[in-house]
Structure 1
């Protein structure tokens, strides 16, 4: 059996570095081209010339009745120069902080006393731990936060009760349908 040339560490590191270089180059190119408009194809210029050449005469336009109707829909015009698939994190400036600034009261506890006494850094971290990530961050910083992000919009805190056997069924209550079809399939008899 032939030996796999990609099995040694040196080759794996080479491929890893190549992939990282390519990803970095793509991100740099994207950031560089972000504010610039995309080049328009020549076909649009041809269509524009045809429309201008076939424009009706002013005498014909004067005989037409005036347009008095309001638009039926109040639609937002799409910007086709904007790239698709960008989430809120990509719309923020590059140097935007991930975490929201700490309030001055909480920040002052950081410099008040020592951790051994249960003050200072210890108290600061406890106060920061008491806040949920939605209050500390402007957007989810990792993909695992997407599942619980803005959960308070879907389910009220009063509806969450202490479970009888130590498990919550938040996913079942918020994800599955209410008619009982899907939720009954998950129960073990």
Structure 2
């Protein structure tokens, strides 16, 4: 049997002729550019010959203005009613506390009244307890519950993809037939196949 003399890729002789062809093409392109350089500069520096007539510009501008003026205008829907603020609230940052909750402070022995009062107060969101956001973390979600009530569901909005694709509707099913428990290495179990 004879050994195969086939080489992978291009041999040295073909590489040399290939590089010669590339060099020749580069010199031809450079010569053409030098020969036509003056003409190319003239073409590149010419002012644009195509311009839009003033009548067309005015017509398009008038169409845009008319579309804006004749657009269907609908009144802005108010998401929630403004809460009335007490005149004395300008000095106070906190809304008045419900008297029934205030009485919790004085009920109970030792610290129980204070603890009960704080448990009741923490059930309210910050926008129910304060007139304005006190810190920057309160800005996110401020008066959120007022707007959530009026949000419309859109047909093309995002849906609960994870709930539909991840959670099973029929509960936990049995393992498929092809699934088997992994082999356990122990002296009593032989996992060898002969």
| TM-score, with length taken from structure 1 | 0.31
Which one has the largest radius of gyration?
Answer: 2
Give the number of the structure with larger relative contact order, counting CA–CA contacts within 8 Å between residues 6 or more apart: 2
